[in-house]
């Protein structure tokens, strides 16, 4: 009886040791950045130049219209160890201007 109990306990210990070798704590990182949506933004005026009067020398600013849109990107939470995924990650919206020098 003692030998059988000892053998069973040894088997359980070996099995649990083997299982912990394959189990791990997921280390999720965001992978990829894919554009999934573009929303219309609007427009605004910006100074695009200066006119100078040839006689008086007076300078007057000139303006243009810049249109902008909102781009939305997402990635996927992915485990570095086993490539398991855990849903989407949504990046902050990015505003893209057509003409002016404003950054995203």
DSSP 27-95: -EEEEEEEEEEEEEEEEEEEEEEEEE-TTT--EEEEEEEEEEEEEEEEEEEEETTT--EEEEEEPPPEE
Q: Is residue 5 part of a domain?
A: no
Q: Is residue 15 part of a domain?
A: no
Residue 90 CA: distances (Å) to CA of 35, 41, 48, 52, 73: 10, 19, 34, 48, 6
Give the residue-averaged pLDDT of 72-101: 93
Q: Looking at residue 20, what is its pLDDT? A: 45
Domain tally, the chain: 1
Q: Is residue 31 part of a domain?
A: yes
Q: Is residue 36 part of a domain?
A: yes
- pTM of the full predicted structure? 0.63
Q: Is residue 34 part of a domain?
A: yes
Residues of the domain holding 80: 25-97
Q: Is residue 41 part of a domain?
A: yes
Q: Tens digit of pLDDT for each residue in 32-83?
A: 999 999 999 999 999 999 999 999 999 999 999 999 999 999 999 999 889 9
DSSP assignment letter at 6: H
Confidence of residue 13 (pLDDT cuts 50, 70, 90): low
């Amino acid at each position: 009886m003692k030998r059988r109990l000892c053998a069973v306990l040894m088997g359980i210990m070996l099995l649990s040791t083997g299982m912990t070798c394959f189990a791990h704590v997921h280390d999720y990182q965001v992978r990829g950045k894919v554009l999934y949506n573009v929303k219309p933004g609007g427009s605004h005026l910006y100074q695009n130049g200066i006119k100078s009067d040839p006689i008086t020398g007076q300078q007057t600013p000139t303006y243009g219209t810049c249109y902008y849109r909102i781009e939305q990107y997402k990635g996927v939470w992915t485990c570095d160890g086993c490539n398991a995924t855990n849903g989407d990650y949504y990046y902050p919206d990015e505003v893209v201007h057509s003409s002016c020098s404003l950054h995203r």
